[in-house]
Structure 1
Amino acid sequence: MASKSSPFPSPPNHIASGSLSVPPSPSSRPGLRSHSLALHLRQLYRFQTVLTEHEETWRDRYSFLLSKGYQLRSRYEPDWSPSWLTMDIDPAYCDDAKETVLPMILDARRRTDGVTVCIKRISPNTVTNEVKIAKYLSTDKMLRDPTNHCVPIWDTFKDPILPQVEYIIMPPLRPYANPEFGVVGEVVDFVTQTIEAMGFMHKHLIAHGDLTTQNIMMDPRPILPSGWHFVAKHCTPDGVTPISPLARIDYPVRYLIIDFDCSVRLSPGQPHLVRYFGGRDDDPPEYKSRDPYDPFKIDVFTLGNVFFKDFYQKYEGLDFLASLIDFMKTSNFRQRPDAEMAMKYWLNVRKHIDVGRARWRLQKRKETMGERVLYDTVAFAREGVHRMKRMLTGEEQRVYWS
């Protein structure tokens, strides 16, 4: 069920979803309050009238980024004044009240077409090959490969004052489990795509080094066709209206790998043995040894750990993952499979999964009986609507895997 559609298109103007809309006028915006309530709310939001230290860094580069064709939100303009200070409005409804979450990541609007982009400021404490590897994986040749699930890099440039600082421009993505998975078939697709992603990198002699939950994202456009707000991820681009995601079992998404700050690219014929390699996951047993180890086998272990911690431990009914996880987390890295072997093993497991399970609801292990009855009822009703729609439209049953 791996998505074989093209990766994120190289010409970025294909991605309009997710762009931030122009804030509506005060008279038409929701959240208008009485004057006294507005004054009270301003006191609650008083801390937001001053940028945080890491936000000041972005403000100081506002003009520079604008010269490169990228306009930050009004909050980061050099002469910014909070909009809610002059209006009787709840600051929660103001776009410039939304702070960036990660210090090194910010959204911007590309001036040529108004598309929202993600800017990453790379300021390494030590020299890394992050930008070089990311750009290599984004060449035209690489992007034409449907097994390439690495985030495309649309633009790069250096800081005008600090030469060690670089900026990379990427599409806006979401954490892969936001919104949550709903049915078994979605997990099967995720496993297939991520093993495929790992295999692509390894085929090109790149070991990611931190193939963990935080570095697996998704292009959510199929399930969020109206877009989403870069910071207020639970909202549409207006930053106010709650999102209503479609089911990814019906509108498959594409999963993408980000962050190559821990990655290494080996030369053809170079021994697959390194030291001091790896990211967030401390579980690989070879870390406990002083001996060199295989960086590609670290990726296999850490991705297996994602399957274990994010799915097998969390949901019931995913027994088919057990043997794959054990295989990928083999203690001795010399006996652990490589990415190609892991994919072959998984495809063999997958073909024995009953296709009828694809639309089974994922049941969390910690659900109470009341929650289970409620969620099962909702899932049953949703499936009934899906079947009725397919009958009325003559839509064929989709094949999830074979």
Structure 2
Amino acid sequence: MMDPRPTFPNMYHPSRNRRNLNFKGSAKYYTRTARPTKYFLVDFGLSRKYNPEDGEPREIPIKGGDKTVPEFQGRGEFRPCNPFPTDIYYLGNMIREDFLQQTRGVEFMEPLVNDMVQDDPLKRPNIDEVVRRFEEITRKLSSWKLRSRLVVLEEKEYPVVMVLRTIHHFFRTFAHVLMFRNPLPRPRV
């Protein structure tokens, strides 16, 4: 889920997102590079709160939408386990399925994602390690790589459409460069 307020300062209509909220014109919007936004990963009611002073939590698995969690397979679905490595798996698998398998241009994430989806939950990095490694990976990428166009693999892109999208992306990127915008913008806290 994304907080749309930075990119759509006057919001948009919920059923026609190209129209403004009162439906009296087009919705003014900015790119996420010009106006960084926050993203939220939501589990819709499967969350629990733990006191760190109580030590490592152990819970009987609650199966969410992703049924591929290795520790939940077979008899594992009845064994209490630490839910935090499972969260790492969910996040890694979402990145793998929605980005690595469906787009071109984010292959640099593969080693981190592979560690996040290891079969053995004890071998998965914790969230602090994931954040540290992600920042380390992105720090090593060039500005042009960070600004490159994400290409959806399954979407049939006709040559003319590809050229037009590439030209549009080039000019948009060029404007961001001229305005000295960070290629990996951070939202305000």
| 1:328 alignment partner in structure 2 | 116
> What are the superposed Cα offsets for residues 164-209 of structure 1, whole Å, 9 maximum, x if unpaired?
xxxxxxxxxxxxxxxxxxxxxxxxxxxxxxxxxxxxxxxxxxxxxx
Matches within 5 A, 1:3-402: 217-239=1-23, 241=25, 243=27, 245-258=29-42, 261-267=45-51, 268-288=53-73, 289=76, 290-368=78-156, 370=158, 372-384=159-171, 387=174, 391=178, 395-398=179-182, 400=184
Tell me which amino acid in the other structure corresponds to 1:374.
V
> What are the superposed Cα offsets for residues 116-137 of structure 1, whole Å, 9 maximum, x if unpaired?
xxxxxxxxxxxxxxxxxxxxxx
Identify if the C-alpha distance between structure 1 residues 322 and 279 changes in structure 2 by more than 3 Å, giving closer, same or farther.
same
Identify if the C-alpha distance between structure 1 residues 356 and 325 changes in structure 2 by more than 3 Å, giving closer, same or farther.
same
Q: Which runs of 4+ in 1 moved over 6 A?
A: none
Identify if the C-alpha distance between structure 1 residues 281 and 381 changes in structure 2 by more than 3 Å, giving closer, same or farther.
closer
Tell me which amino acid in the other structure corresponds to 2:91.
L
Unpaired stretches in structure 2, ≥5 consecutive residues: none
CA RMSD of aligned residues (A): 2.6
Q: Which moved more, 1:359-368 or 1:269-278?
A: 269-278
SS in 2 for 1:224: coil
Structure 2 contact 11–20 (Cα < 8 Å) conserved? yes
- The aligned length equals 181
| 1:74 alignment partner in structure 2 | none
Structure 2 contact 10–28 (Cα < 8 Å) conserved? no
Q: Give the structure-1-normalised TM-score.
A: 0.41
Q: How far apart, CA to CA, are the structure 1 residues paired with 2:176 and 2:135? A: 31
Identify if the C-alpha distance between structure 1 residues 283 and 386 changes in structure 2 by more than 3 Å, giving closer, same or farther.
closer
Q: How far apart, CA to CA, are the structure 1 residues paired with 2:65 and 2:176? A: 44
Structure 2 contact 33–183 (Cα < 8 Å) conserved? no
Q: How far apart, CA to CA, are the structure 2 residues paired with 1:302 and 1:308? A: 10
Identify if the C-alpha distance between structure 1 residues 373 and 364 changes in structure 2 by more than 3 Å, giving closer, same or farther.
farther
Q: Which moved more, 1:342-351 or 1:297-306?
A: 342-351
Q: How far apart, CA to CA, are the structure 2 residues paired with 1:251 and 1:383? A: 18
Q: C-alpha displacement at 1:365, in angstroms?
A: 0.7
Q: C-alpha displacement at 1:277, in angstroms?
A: 2.4
Q: How far apart, CA to CA, are the structure 2 residues paired with 1:258 and 1:279? A: 11
> What are the superposed Cα offsets for residues 60-100 of structure 1, whole Å, 9 maximum, x if unpaired?
xxxxxxxxxxxxxxxxxxxxxxxxxxxxxxxxxxxxxxxxx
Q: How far apart, CA to CA, are the structure 1 residues paired with 2:172 and 2:160? A: 19
Greater per-residue helix proportion: 2
Greater per-residue strand proportion: 1
Structure 2 contact 149–169 (Cα < 8 Å) conserved? no
Q: How far apart, CA to CA, are the structure 1 residues paired with 2:114 and 2:162? A: 30
Q: Give the structure-2-normalised TM-score.
A: 0.80
SS in 1 for 2:131: helix
Larger RCO: 1 or 2 (CA < 8 Å, sep 6+) = 2
Identify if the C-alpha distance between structure 1 residues 335 and 237 changes in structure 2 by more than 3 Å, giving closer, same or farther.
same
Unpaired stretches in structure 1, ≥5 consecutive residues: 1-216
Larger-Rg structure: 1
Tell me which amino acid in the other structure corresponds to 1:377.
L
Q: How far apart, CA to CA, are the structure 2 residues paired with 1:256 and 1:369? A: 30
Structure 2 contact 115–123 (Cα < 8 Å) conserved? no
